[in-house]
């Protein structure tokens, strides 16, 4: 059983560009959350998707948007990239639409570098 997978593993973009990160949840999971982890810091909650809708959002600007597909996979889009967007982006999935964090599994992350 594959766990949470994310692609790509690493990405380098230029300031002002746009980026799309992808996540496939663990089998049987239908809820996907995205986190941003800057170097030396803990993860910060960006948003969560359930039933193809954004259910909850953290303190991130509208440049950060997402999507969930019928197969529960998800994308994170970031527009007008800033140097400060350089971070490890983590995807987490959980089952049964509950979003219960103690049943949350994390992917390995996508390392985004903005130059």
Partner 1 sequence: GEDVEQSLFLSVREGDSSVINCTYTDSSSTYLYWYKQEPGAGLQLLTYIFSNMDMKQDQRLTVLLNKKDKHLSLRIADTQTGDSAIYFCAESTTNAGKSTFGDGTTLTVKP
Q: Under the rule (CB under 8 A), what is the footprint of partner 1?
A: 4, 31, 33, 40-45, 48, 55-56, 58, 90, 92, 94, 98-102, 104-109
Question: Among residues 85 and 107, whose Cβ is nearest to partner 1?
Answer: 107
Least distance between partner 1 and beta carbon 46 (Å): 10
Query: Cα separation of 111 and 39, whole Å?
Result: 10
In whole angstroms, the minimum distance from the beta carbon of 15 to partner 1 comes to 25
Tokens matching residue 93: 């999935």
d(CA 80, CA 31): 27
Residue number with CB closer to partner 1 (18 or 56): 56
Nearer to partner 1, 20 or 95 (CB): 95
Q: Are strands 87-95 and 110-114 parallel, antiparallel or unpaired?
A: antiparallel
Determine how β-strand 74-78 pairs with β-strand 64-68.
Answer: antiparallel
Q: Considering beta carbons, is residue 24 or 31 the nearer one to partner 1?
A: 31
In DSSP terms, 50 is beta-bridged to 31, 53
């Amino acid at each position: 059983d594959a766990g949470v997978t994310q692609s790509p593993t690493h990405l380098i973009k230029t300031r002002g560009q746009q980026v799309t990160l992808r996540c496939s949840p663990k089998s049987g999971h239908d809820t996907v959350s995205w986190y941003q982890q800057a170097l030396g810091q803990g993860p910060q909650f960006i948003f969560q998707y359930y039933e193809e809708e954004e259910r909850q959002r953290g303190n991130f600007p509208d440049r950060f948007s997402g999507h969930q597909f019928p197969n529960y996979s998800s994308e994170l889009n970031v527009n007008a990239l800033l140097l400060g967007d350089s971070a490890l982006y983590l995807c987490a999935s959980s089952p049964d639409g509950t979003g219960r964090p103690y049943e949350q599994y994390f992917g390995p992350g996508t390392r985004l570098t903005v130059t």
